[in-house]
Copies of this chain bind each other. A is one copy, B any other.
Amino acid sequence: MADLRDRKRQRAREKIVEAAFALFAERGFADVTVTEIAERAEVGRTTFFRYFGDKQEVVFADEQGLLEEMTEHQRSLGMISAQDVITALRQLRGTVLALCTAITKDEKHYVVHEQLLERTPELHDRSVRKLQRYTETIEGVLIDRGTPREVAVLAAQLALGCFHAGRRLAGFDPTQLVGEVDAAFERLVGKQRR
């Protein structure tokens, strides 16, 4: 059986995330202390910091899996190496849209999450950092596939730009995100995908 220890850890982690989101939804990010989260999750304060490097990290708890999903999606697309920016962008389009679909799947969670970011500058910063990480990973996939570095770096950054633009235009509406991001790509590279 899969280690009782592992299951316990998994459970503790979930309890912390639940407790944190409940409290953040009630009172916002700044007005909740780590001690309170720990109490509500029935763990020690020390334990909180063992699971999450800092208070902000808990907000992005379930985003770890997204990166792997995304790179997986991108890798699965085949091995045609793009030599120019527009072609590379067409290859990235589907992956970015898949990401949008994934994060808006749980609509309520998406809204709470976006509002937290909107209201808390540090969280917004952190979110952007994480997106940059994703972008650099995607850039790596392109390079592995034979796309020249200058092209890959630019294409990845532009794809991120489309995402940001779509997000801004969609506001907090989870049902509009995919459409707006797709429209942004369309404005850049035209109608055809991939």
A interface, size bucket: 20 to 34
How many copies of this chain does one complex carry? 2
With A128-B129, A129-B128, A154-B161 as known contacts, state yes or no: A85 contacts B187, CB within 8 Å. Answer: yes
Task: Say yes or no: is A37 at the interface (Cβ < 8 Å to chain B).
Answer: no
Q: Chain B's nearest CB lies how many Å from the CB of A36?
A: 23
Q: Which residues of B contact A84 (CB under 8 A)?
A: 187
**In the bound complex, do residue B125 and residue A153 qualify as a contact, i.e. CB atoms below 8 Å apart?**
no
- With beta carbons under 8 angstroms apart, the residue of B85, B151, B157, B184 that contacts A154 is B184
Query: CA–CA, A189 to B27, complex, Å?
Result: 47
Task: Say yes or no: is A150 at the interface (Cβ < 8 Å to chain B).
Answer: yes
Q: Which of A129, A156, A161, A187 is packed against the most chain B CB atoms within 10 Å?
A: A161
Q: Chain B's nearest CB lies how many Å from the CB of A53?
A: 10
Task: Say yes or no: is A164 at the interface (Cβ < 8 Å to chain B).
Answer: yes
Q: Chain B's nearest CB lies how many Å from the CB of A128?
A: 5
Q: Chain B's nearest CB lies how many Å from the CB of A186?
A: 10
Task: Say yes or no: is A169 at the interface (Cβ < 8 Å to chain B).
Answer: yes
**In the bound complex, do residue B128 and residue A121 qualify as a contact, i.e. CB atoms below 8 Å apart?**
no
**In the bound complex, do residue B157 and residue A165 qualify as a contact, i.e. CB atoms below 8 Å apart?**
yes
Q: Which residues of B contact A168 (CB under 8 A)?
A: 153, 157
Besides A158-B165, A160-B161, 9 more A-B contacts (Cβ < 8 Å) are A125-B126, A128-B129, A150-B169, A153-B169, A154-B162, A154-B188, A157-B161, A157-B164, A158-B158
Report 17 cross-chain contacts, Cβ distance below 8 Å, ordered by A residue: A121-B129, A124-B129, A125-B128, A125-B129, A128-B128, A150-B169, A150-B187, A153-B168, A153-B169, A154-B161, A154-B187, A157-B161, A158-B162, A158-B165, A158-B188, A160-B161, A161-B161
